[in-house]
Amino acid sequence: MIALVSAFLALLALCGWIALRRRTPAADAVPVPISPAPAALEESAGTAQPATTSSGLALVQSSSAVASERLWRLAFGAAAGHEVAPEHRRVRDTVEALLSAQKLDEKYFPRRPTLMPQLLRAMKDPTVGAGALAAIIAQDPVLTGDTLRLANTSYYRTTSTPIETIQRAVVICGTDGLQSLVATALMHPVFRATEGNFPRFTALLWERTARASRAAELYAAKARREDRFEAQLLTLLNALGPLVVYRATLDTYAHAAPLRPSPELCAILVGLLGQKLSLRIARQWQSSERLLAALDPAIDDVEGATDQALLHAFYGGELLGTLSLLASENALSAPEAIQLAVDAGLPEGLVASIWQRLQAAS
């Protein structure tokens, strides 16, 4: 009997492994509900039907896309289901043409942080210690200041004593924590500039990015620890595209006076073009093939290029970060948001653990 039970459990494990290895078609970033879980993100979120985990990665991706759509509407003050007036279609066509051009205008394209290549190499080298990382960070006063500010948030600081030096941050956060902290600090200056129209967008985009980055890191720590930094970096890179779309859209409107920017069109364009632009920026920044494959929703799985564990951490972290922010903004209740994450196929225990960490730090 024991032998039969053991054989049965082994068969179940093998089936689970095969299912996990199967590549599911990636969902497009177009803000259209394509599954029961994303549809639940509309105002009737409490009526969501439970989704099965066998739906796999596609369900997590589509849930994340529609959660993001709702956040964009909130950021721009756009009404759900409100159609864009015909006179704004010219702006839409112009923005799409600008951002699909072979060469993107440099005024829209965020420049890669100067120290990024050096830091990424150091972080991937197991022989480079935390002291060497701290020395690199100290070369840039702005990065140093951002790193210390992040080190003193409840994400990282566990004592009442303020962290006042990078060396102290190394001791408190450890090498792994310092890697995560620096990656976030490295990107923060890109999001600082705000525009006259819809300044709330950049604030909410950054807050979502910080939460998603932390959630992806925690998700990967449970699923496959060695993916922690890559999962976090993916969420940071994926925020750059929406920022570019936002800037290009407002710039186009500035040349279309007296036409005032449409909140609905801004939200639509960010959802439609954001991830595509993130992939372009990641390529321009010479990111690794593994990261590029994970950012491309249309790419076929290539052996060694990407994998399910990293993708689940990336999209799962982004979904949890977005839902957490929506709950903080009272666009969803916490129980509704948690249930939506579970309905998308994320493990219930992991959702509860990450949610608690995110809310404690907010």
- CB-based contact 252:75 (threshold 8 Å): no
Q: How confident is the model at residue 115 (pLDDT cuts 50, 70, 90)?
A: confident
Task: Give the pLDDT of residue 267.
Answer: 95
Which pLDDT belongs to residue 286?
A: 84
For the stretch 50-77, pLDDT in tens is 233 334 788 999 999 989 999 999 999 9
The DSSP code sequence of 242-291 is HHHHHHHHHHHHHTSTTPPPPHHHHHHHHHHHHHHHHHHHHHHTT--HHH
**Residue 246 pLDDT greater than 70, yes or no:** yes
Q: Which of 12-16, 142-146, 170-174 has the highest mean pLDDT?
A: 142-146
Q: The pTM is what?
A: 0.75
Portion of the chain with pLDDT greater than 90, in percent: 40
Whether residue 14 is contained in a domain is answered as no
| Residue at 283 is within a domain | yes
Residue 43 phi, psi dihedral angles, 5° rounding:
-60, -20
Is the model's pLDDT at 117 over the cut of 90?
A: no
Q: Is residue 333's pLDDT more than 80? A: yes
Q: How many residues does the chain have?
A: 362
**Least confident interval from 11-15, 211-215, 332-336:** 11-15
User: Which pLDDT score is estimated for 305?
Assistant: 44
CATH classification of the domain holding 104: 1.10.3210.10
Gap between the Cα atoms of 195 and 201, Å rounded: 9
Separation CA 205–CA 72 (nearest Å): 8
CB atoms within 10 A of CB 276: 19
For residue 210, tell me if it sits in a domain: yes
Mean pLDDT, the chain, whole residue set: 78
Residue 31: helix, strand or coil by DSSP?
coil
Instruction: Answer with the residue of higher pLDDT: 69 or 79.
Output: 69
Say whether pLDDT at 131 is over 60.
yes
Position with higher pLDDT, 48 vs 292: 292
Three-class SS state of 174: helix
Identify the band that residue 136 occupies on the pLDDT scale cut at 50, 70 and 90: confident
Among the residue ranges 131-145, 182-196, 260-274, 283-297, the one predicted with the least confidence is: 182-196
Residue 34 lies in a domain: no
pLDDT at 99: 93
Q: Does residue 17 fall inside a structural domain?
A: no
Domain assignment of residue 313, given as a range? 73-361
Average pLDDT over residues 297-302: 56
Residues 8-50: tens digit of each pLDDT: 334 333 334 333 333 333 333 323 222 333 333 433 333 333 2
Local confidence band at 193 (pLDDT 50, 70, 90 cut-offs): low
pLDDT of residue 18: 33
d(CA 64, CA 40): 12
- Picking from 306, 297, 348, 334, the residue whose alpha carbon sits closest to that of residue 62 is 297
Task: Give how many domains the chain has, as a whole number.
Answer: 1
Pick the most confident of 103-117, 131-145, 217-231, 324-338. Answer: 324-338
Quick one: pLDDT at residue 9? 38
Q: Is 311's pLDDT higher than 80?
A: yes
CA dist 235 and 231 (Å) reads 7
CA distance 221 to 197: 39
pLDDT band at 120 (very low <50, low <70, confident <90, very high): confident
* 211 against 226, higher pLDDT: 211
How many CB atoms lie under 10 A from the CB of residue 173? 23
The answer to whether residue 32 sits within a structural domain is no
Question: pLDDT confidence of 89, banded at 50, 70, 90?
Answer: very high
Task: Round to whole Å and give the CA distance between 66 and 71.
Answer: 9
Rounded to the nearest 5°, which phi and psi values hold at 150? -65, -40
Q: pLDDT at position 93, please?
A: 95
So what's the pLDDT on residue 195? 55
Q: How confident is the model at residue 142 (pLDDT cuts 50, 70, 90)?
A: confident
Does 232 fall in a domain?
A: yes
Give the model's pLDDT for residue 299. 58
24 burial via Cβ count (<10 Å: 0-12, 13-18, 19+): middle
- Tokens matching residue 95: 């923005």
Per-residue confidence at 342, pLDDT binned at 50, 70, 90?
very high
Evaluate whether residue 51 is within a structural domain.
Answer: no
**54 secondary structure, DSSP code:** G
Average pLDDT (219-225) is 89
